[in-house]
Chains A and B, each alone.
Chain A
Amino acid sequence: MNALVTAAKKEGTLNVIALPPTWANYGTIINTFEKKYGITVNSTLPDGTSQQEVDAVKQENGSPKAPDVLDIGLAVALANTKLFAPYEVSTWSDIPAAQKDPSGLWYEDYGGYMAIGYESKFGTITSLSQLLTPKFKGAVALNGNPTAANAALNGVMLANLAEGGTPSNISKGVAFFHQLKQVGNFNPISATGATIKAGSTPVVFNWDYLNLSSYVGVPGWKVFVPSGVALGGYYAQAINKNAPHPAAARLWEEFLYSQASTGGQNLWLQGGARPVEQQAMTSAGTIDTSAATALPTVSGTPVFLSQSQSSDAATYLATNWANAVG
Chain B
Amino acid sequence: MTVAATTKTGVRPSWAGRRPHAPTWVGTVPFLAYVAIFLLWPTGIVVIDALKNPDGAWAFSNVSEFGNPLIRGYFIGSFKLCLLSAAAGSVLGAILAYAVASGDPDGLIRRLYLSVSGVLAQFGGVTLAFAFLVTIGPVGLLFHASWYFDFPWGIGLIYTYFQIPLMVLVFMPAIDGLKVQWREASENLGSSAWQYWRYVGGPLLAPAFLGGALLLFANALSAFATIQAWENQIAYIVPQQISTAMSSEVGLSSVNEASLLALGLVIMVAVVMTIYALLQRRAARWLR
Which of A's residues lie within 8 Å of B, judged by CB? 49-52, 73, 75-76, 79, 137-139, 141-142, 144-150, 152-153, 184, 187-190, 195, 198-202, 310-311, 313-315, 317-319, 321-322, 325-326
**Restricting to B186-238, which residues have a CB under 8 Å from any CB of A?**
228-236
Q: Are B247 and A49 in contact (CB under 8 A)?
A: yes
Q: Are A139 and B138 in contact (CB under 8 A)?
A: yes
Q: Are A75 and B250 in contact (CB under 8 A)?
A: yes
Known: A137-B146, A138-B138, A139-B138. A149 touches B231 (CB 8 A): no
CA distance A322 to B246 in the complex (A): 17
Q: Are B233 and A150 in contact (CB under 8 A)?
A: no
- Please pick, from A51, A189, A317, the residue contacting B231 in the complex, using a CB distance under 8 A: A189
CA distance A189 to B151 in the complex (A): 13
- Please pick, from B73, B149, B233, the residue contacting A190 in the complex, using a CB distance under 8 A: B233
Q: Are A153 and B149 in contact (CB under 8 A)?
A: no
- Please pick, from B146, B230, B251, B253, the residue contacting A311 in the complex, using a CB distance under 8 A: B251
B108 at interface (Cβ–Cβ under 8 A)? no
A-B contact count (CB 8 A): 108
CA distance A51 to B248 in the complex (A): 6
- Please pick, from B134, B137, B249, B252, the residue contacting A318 in the complex, using a CB distance under 8 A: B252
Interface residues on B, range: 20 to 34
- Please pick, from B70, B232, B246, B251, the residue contacting A144 in the complex, using a CB distance under 8 A: B232
Known: A51-B246, A325-B233. A147 touches B138 (CB 8 A): no
Which of B's residues lie within 8 Å of A, judged by CB? 70, 73, 133-134, 137-139, 144, 146, 149, 151, 228-236, 243-244, 246-253
Q: Are A190 and B250 in contact (CB under 8 A)?
A: no
A251 to chain B, nearest CB (A): 27
Known: A49-B249, A137-B146, A188-B149. A147 touches B133 (CB 8 A): no
CA distance A52 to B234 in the complex (A): 20
- Please pick, from B144, B151, B235, B251, the residue contacting A314 in the complex, using a CB distance under 8 A: B251
- Please pick, from B137, B144, B233, the residue contacting A142 in the complex, using a CB distance under 8 A: B233
CA distance A152 to B247 in the complex (A): 14
Q: Are B249 and A50 in contact (CB under 8 A)?
A: yes
* 23 A-B residue pairs with CB within 8 Å: A49-B247, A51-B253, A79-B251, A144-B233, A145-B232, A147-B252, A148-B248, A148-B250, A150-B250, A188-B230, A188-B231, A189-B137, A195-B133, A198-B134, A199-B138, A200-B133, A200-B137, A202-B138, A313-B250, A315-B252, A317-B250, A322-B70, A326-B151
CA distance A225 to B146 in the complex (A): 27
Known: A52-B247, A184-B146, A189-B230. A145 touches B235 (CB 8 A): yes
Residue of B nearest to A139 (CB): B138
Which residues of chain B have C-beta atoms less than 8 A from A51's C-beta?
246-249, 253
CA distance A49 to B243 in the complex (A): 11
B80 to chain A, nearest CB (A): 12
Q: Are A148 and B138 in contact (CB under 8 A)?
A: no
Q: Are B70 and A148 in contact (CB under 8 A)?
A: no
Q: Are A149 and B251 in contact (CB under 8 A)?
A: no
Which residues of chain A have C-beta atoms less than 8 A from B251's C-beta?
75-76, 79, 310-311, 314
Which residues of chain A have C-beta atoms less than 8 A from B70's C-beta?
318-319, 322
Which residues of chain B have C-beta atoms less than 8 A from A313's C-beta?
250
Q: Are B133 and A189 in contact (CB under 8 A)?
A: yes
A13 to chain B, nearest CB (A): 27
CA distance A189 to B230 in the complex (A): 5
CA distance A321 to B70 in the complex (A): 11
CA distance A145 to B243 in the complex (A): 11
Which residues of chain A have C-beta atoms less than 8 A from B138's C-beta?
138-139, 187, 199-202
A157 to chain B, nearest CB (A): 11
